[in-house]
Amino acid sequence: MPKVKFDILESTCVPLPFENVDTDQIIPARFLSATSRLGFGDNLFRDWRYTKTGEKNSEFILNNPDYSGQVLVAGKNFGSGSSREHAVWAIFDYGFRAVVSSFFADIFTNNALNNGLLPIVISDDLLKKLHNLVQKDPGTKVKIDLMNQTFTILMTGDSVKFGINPYKKECLLKGLDDIDFLLSMKSLITSYEKTKSL
Amino acid sequence: MNSKTLFDKIWDSHVVRSIEDGPDVLYIDRHYIHEVTSPQAFNGLKERGIPVMRPGKTLATADHNIPTKDQHLAIRDQLSRNQVERLSENCQKYGIELFGLNHLKNGIVHVIGPELGYTLPGMTIVCGDSHTSTHGAFGTIAFGIGTSEVEMVLATQCILQQKPKKMRITLDGEVQNGITSKDIIMHIISEISASGATGYFVEYAGSAIRCLSMEARMTICNMSIEMGARGGLIAPDETTFSYLKRLSSIPGIKDLKSSINEWSNLKSDKDSVFDRDLIFDAGSIKPMITYGTNPGMGMAIDDSIPMTDKSGNEASSSFIKSLDYMGFKPGMKLLGHPVDYVFIGSCTNGRIEDFRAFAQIIKGRKKAANITALIVPGSKKVEQQMLAEGLMELYKDAGFEVRQPGCSSCLAMNEDKIPPGKYAVSTSNRNFEGRQGPGSRTLLASPLTAAAAAIIGMISDPREFITEVKK
């Protein structure tokens, strides 16, 4: 697991205002055959990004030169479906560091946090407002402050608190690793095993 | 004494340590792995220079990307071959049992775990695959995990996990003739939506659940994830125990009788409280089919596609986009709509009872000329059972070719792809855009509905083919 730190991020946004974007859309199964974590960004949203003949689909947002940034603004129920962590690797590898939505699938949230990609839940209303702003002005910037757990739309000053598990927050702020943490508990784990086998 | 749900009992007894304001360190009894989501986890171990802590608690199979024809030959796709070879190397290096390609016990991970006796009541079970929820049918806490978590389990036999909320879904009433457990779970998902159980772990209860066989229960638990739930479980009972008694061996169990005595206590206390309680009438469920691009977009087969999405948003962009992809319009009926492909198989409906159900309808009939059928047993054992019961002959006589086991067209990582724009009635679990191949159009349904479509060549009501009362 890469040790990635996250503290403050100020960035423009890329809007993807569809509901129920599942992990098969994020990275289709036929691109899961790699054995490393790298390079999945090339196939992020593959079947929306390219036409059937393999050319860039100019109507898709990632191919629109007006939009760029490290924050993906998604629709409700983002990341549902398969548990493939490749979906998170693809989003991260493409260059996103945070995904904003009003609702994430459970496994996606875990996978994102385990890879330094911050999933931020905001209200349906604020999400709608943000989508409208970004669609009108691709220069719309947001600021994410993990320490204070605030999400701010800089142009309007809309600022909300977002939730995150305190343990995961500390891991992200300090770049800590779950496996190091679990390995440090090995004696506790072996004594648990002994009580179970009695 | 505090009353507890079954979920609480199993979870709490597996907590090694609770982190304040954080996740629990949860001990894992059984870890299943496959070729697609494990290589990066093994790379992680290698980089850290650490071993697999309890190799005996992990079991491996190759299922996701393997071909379903000519399995004795080398896999043609180089990347897929590489993944399968890496799995073999990693299992050998770390001392993990592997039922790889061509092994007599090979098959889809969620089919072989139960049929080989590796899934047992009261266990915590994880796998880098969201349909791990299948194993909940035995009264286990089983859920899908990401590759970072696979690495955690390999390294420490534990996982860091936040305890989910609890939901109970009670199903009472008598299921009608021609209705399978696939229809039951598809009905529930269509009612509560593809995200309606996100954040929850489900317990299925009620008389209609108790009547179901183990394989039917696995189909129900399998699709828990399709409504967003972490998993779903069913308390073990006589049906569970007689399934286990019939197995030729159960690894690690010396005295099955005393284990069954212990497992008999695995149930929710009478007055235990769930965060959400839902009740459904099993008697009103009809054969189900999906019309859109998520499993929540399902309806009774003789219904019309709704005019609005679940939240009543007429012509919401996501709803219209989904119907456009499928080539459907709001208000349309699907009965009589032409079909190009039929797929029976997957961890949802790839077990012997599913192939018997399919056989019930195709027996003495012929496959429609316009249908290409992909008939894929869930495991070598299922394949052997089909042979022993004469199903191979029966399928052949009806014009169907039976393939070799694997995940196949459910996620189309191998060559079993549905071509762009073609309609497939599929017994699998996901109708996402492109799930069965780029541009493929999936209609999820039961094995009976798939059989009716395969014979008629159109979407058809399976009840018209069923004469005897059979659940």
pLDDT at A4: 82
Residues of chain A with Cβ-Cβ distance to B189 below 8 Å are none
**Nearest chain B Cα to A46, which residue?**
B438
Q: Does any CB of chain B come closer than 8 Å to the CB of residue A85?
A: yes
Predicted local confidence at residue B314, as pLDDT: 57
Quote the pLDDT of residue B45.
Answer: 97
pLDDT for B470 equals 46
- Can you list the domains of chain A with their CATH numbers? 8-197 (3.20.19.10)
Interface mutation vs chain B, best among A86, A179, A181, most B CBs within 10 Å: A179
Say whether A29 and B438 touch across the interface (CB within 8 A).
no
A83 contact residues in B (CB cutoff 8 A): 37, 128-130, 132, 144-146
Whole-complex ipTM: 0.94
Cβ contacts of A192 on chain B, cutoff 8 Å = 16, 27
Q: Report the C-alpha gap between B177 and B183 in whole angstroms.
A: 12
Tell me, yes or no, if A81 comes closer than 8 A to chain B by beta carbon: yes
Phi/psi for B426 (5° steps) reads -130, 135
Place of tokens 């024809």: B69
Q: Do A29 and B40 touch (CB under 8 A)?
A: no
Reported as a pLDDT band with limits 50, 70 and 90, residue B159 is very high
Q: How far apart are CA B273 and CA A85, in angstroms?
A: 33
Closest CA to B219 of B140, B280, B134: B134
Express each pLDDT in B323-337 by its tens digit: 999 999 999 999 999
Phi, psi for residue B390 in degrees, rounded to 5: 80, 10
Structure token pair of residue B266:
């695995």
Q: What is the pLDDT of residue B315?
A: 60
For the record, the structure tokens of A145 come out as 């402050």
List C-alpha distances in Å: A176 to A86, A113, A116, B279. 21, 11, 10, 44
A25 contacts B228? CB cut-off 8 A: no
Mean pLDDT of A153-165: 97
Given CA atoms B164, B166, B167, B172 in this order, what sign does their dihedral have?
positive
For B438, the closest chain A residue by CA position comes to: A47
Domain B288-464, CATH: 3.30.499.10
Nearest CA in chain A to B151: A179
Q: Mean pLDDT, to the nearest integer, of B132-142?
A: 98
Inter-chain CB proximity B82 and A103 less than 8 Å: no
Residue range B354-358: mean pLDDT, rounded: 98
B466 band by pLDDT with thresholds 50, 70 and 90:
confident
Given an 8 Å threshold on Cβ–Cβ distance, is A83 in contact with B128?
A: yes
Residue of B nearest to A31 (CA): B413
Per-residue pLDDT tens digits for B178-190: 999 999 999 999 9
What's the pLDDT tens digit per position in A53-109? 999 999 999 999 999 999 999 999 999 999 999 999 999 999 999 999 999 999 999
- Which of 148-167 (A) contact B at CB < 8 A? 165-167
Tell me if residue B452 falls in helix, strand or coil.
helix
Please classify residue A65 by burial: count the beta carbons closer than 10 Å to its beta carbon, then call 0-12 exposed, 13-18 middle and 19+ buried: exposed
Give the model confidence (pLDDT) of A113-126 as tens digits: 999 999 999 999 99
Q: What is the mean pLDDT of chain B?
A: 96
Q: What beta strand segments (E) does chain A contain?
A: 8-15, 71-73, 98-101, 118-121, 141-145, 150-153, 159-161
Question: Is the pLDDT reported for residue A164 higher than 60?
Answer: yes
Task: Compute the 3-state secondary structure of chain A and give helix, strand, coil in percent, each to the nearest 5.
Answer: 40, 20, 45
Beta bridge partners of A117: none
| Class of the CATH-defined domain B6-278 | alpha beta
Which ranges in chain B are annotated with CATH 3.30.499.10? 6-278, 288-464
pLDDT at A6 over 50: yes
Above 90 in pLDDT, residue B313?
Answer: no
Cβ–Cβ contact A186 with B under 8 A: yes
Q: Which of residues 10-29 of A touch B (CB under 8 A)?
A: 17-20, 22, 24-25, 28-29
For an interface test with A, give the residue of B10, B47, B156, B416 to mutate (most A CBs within 10 A): B156
B128 with A167: Cβ contact below 8 A: no
